[in-house]
Amino acid sequence: MPQDKSQSPVVEAVRAVSHRDHAPGRQLGITRDLISQVVHAFYDEIRADALLGPIFGKRIAPERWPAHLETMVEFWSSVLLLTGSYKGKPVPAHLQLGVEDAHFRHWLALFGQVTARLCTAEIAALFMERATRIADSLRFAIATAEAGDGPPRFPAPLAAGG
């Protein structure tokens, strides 16, 4: 009887390793430590920011910030290093925040400043490319949720090429 390869832990392990080796961030030398630095520096800026600080402050009590930062390190490790360690649900977290395009543009501008300060140009560009695409998918999900049973009014994409 032919062996079902998907059942083999060894095959799964090899597949997982080679998959991770090809993670976009690994090829540029991104480490979990760099991701952690970016996440911490970025949310320091966010918390002090006049536009975005209060929105985060309403949802995340001071004692929940360490857990949020940890979640965001796992999120970015999953995006850039394909660790699969982020298990959350981004869309529900962003519904009912009352955020509009101006908030997303400002989030991305702050993220751009932090990544430019802490990363090489190539790494900063990768962070920004992924952040912009994810921001768009959140914006489209928000538009869909806000439309209820009606047709959604999708915003113009922020990412180049749509």
Q: Which residues bind ligand HEM (CB under 6 A)?
A: 52, 55-56, 59-60, 68, 71, 75, 88-90, 93-94, 97, 99, 103-104, 107, 131, 134-135, 138
Cβ distance to ligand HEM smaller for residue 119 or 131: 131
Closest CB 82 distance from ligand HEM, rounded Å: 15
Would you say 45 and 114 are in contact if contact means Cβ atoms under 8 Å apart? yes
Residue whose CB is nearest to ligand HEM in the complex, by number: 88
Minimum distance, C-beta of residue 107 to ligand HEM, in the bound complex (Å): 4
Alpha helices in the chain (DSSP H): 9-21, 24-27, 32-48, 53-59, 65-81, 90-94, 101-118, 121-147
Handedness of CA 64, 46, 53, 80 (dihedral sign): negative
Q: Which is nearer to ligand HEM, 17 or 61 (CB)?
A: 61
In this complex, which beta carbon is closest to ligand HEM, that of residue 29 or of residue 57?
57
Q: How far is the CB of 10 from ligand HEM (least distance, A)?
A: 32
Q: Which residues contact 43 (CB under 8 A, 6 or more apart)?
A: 56, 65, 68, 69, 72
CB nearer to ligand HEM: give 81 or 138. 138
Nearest approach, Cβ of residue 130 and ligand HEM (Å): 7
CB atoms within 10 A of CB 125: 15
**Least Å from the CB of residue 111 to ligand HEM:** 7
Measure the CA–CA gap between 119 and 134, rounded to whole angstroms. Answer: 20
Between 63 and 149, CB nearer to ligand HEM: 63
